[in-house]
Chain A
Amino acid sequence: DTGVSQNPRHKITKRGQNVTFRCDPISEHNRLYWYRQTLGQGPEFLTYFQNEAQLEKSRLLSDRFSAERPKGSFSTLEIQRTEQGDSAMYLCASSPWATSGGTDTQYFGPGTRLTVL
């Protein structure tokens, strides 16, 4: 297993266009997370899937953002009508099913760098 992969690695788009990013988690990891990181800040949580169910969304995730995880495998994050403020690194992470009462480590992909002109 090669870890979490994300595509594309870089995306440049014009304001108002739609973009879609893909994340392939580590095999058999039930949990999948999306985070966003802007310059000089730590990553911020956007949304979380347990298998195919989207169980939590951050207030950061406006109506223009939508995420899916069909069949509980890969996930996509779509941003509609992009704005310059959407420029950031979008990170995906996955973790296995947490053992009873425990917490499992999240492993991150390389990220997708979005630039909105």
Chain B
Amino acid sequence: DQQVKQNSPSLSVQEGRISILNCDYTNSMFDYFLWYKKYPAEGPTFLISISSIKDKNEDGRFTVFLNKSAKHLSLHIVPSQPGDSAVYFCAASASQGAQKLVFGQGTRLTINP
């Protein structure tokens, strides 16, 4: 049972344009959502998070949007830069208990010059 899904395995965007990565979840208990960026042979690097009490959180070029009714979140990167090329993982957790992260399968983002 895949509780967090990233339906696009890959995405290619031109440098300077907006990159939009999407994520869907099914578990209503999730109330905290995060995006991580991962390069090969490295651990995930935290990018940005959002609590379920908000619908938007912005940090520099990165903005995360949360639509609780649709159980959908998205990460916007603008403008996209070549260094943004990596695999992006969406993750979700519930504030009760262990707060373990449930990850999506990842989306490989490629920024073309």
Partners in one complex: yes
Determine whether the beta carbon of A107 is less than 8 Å from that of B46. yes
| Interface residues contributed by chain B, number (CB under 8 Å) | 27
- Whether the pair B100, A43 counts as a contact (CB closer than 8 A) is no
Q: How far is the CA of A1 from the CA of B20 in the complex (A)?
A: 33
Interface flags, B71-113, vs A, CB<8A=1, else 0: 0000000000000000001010101011111111110000000
Q: How far does the Cβ of A61 sit from chain B's closest Cβ, in whole Å?
A: 12
When C-beta atoms are compared, the residue in chain B nearest to A98 turns out to be B99
Task: Give how many A-B residue pairs fall within 8 Å (CB-CB).
Answer: 70
| Contact (Cβ within 8 A) B43 A103 | no
Q: Is the CB of B43 within 8 A of A109?
A: yes
Q: Which residue of B lies closest to A109 (CB)?
A: B43
Residues of chain A with a CB closer than 8 A to B100's CB: 33, 45, 48, 56
Interface string of B41-65 (1 = CB under 8 A from A): 1111110010100000000000000
How far, in angstroms, from A41 to B98 measured CA to CA in the complex? 22
Q: Does B15 contact A (CB under 8 A)?
A: no
Q: A55-B98, A105-B49 are known contacts. Are A91 and B43 too (CB-CB below 8 A)? A: yes
Report the minimal beta-carbon distance from B7 to chain A, rounded to whole angstroms: 13
Expressed in whole angstroms, the Cα–Cα distance for A35 and B93 within the complex equals: 14
Point out the residue from B32, B45, B102 that lies within 8 Å of A103, measured CB to CB: B32
**CB < 8 Å neighbour of A108 from B44, B93, B95, B99:** B44
B100 to chain A: closest residue by CB: A45
> In the complex, what's the smallest C-beta–C-beta distance from A102 to chain B, in angstroms?
7
Question: Is B34 in contact with chain A by the CB < 8 A criterion?
Answer: yes
Binding site for A on B (CB under 8 A): 4, 31-32, 34, 36, 41-46, 49, 51, 89, 91, 93, 95, 97-106
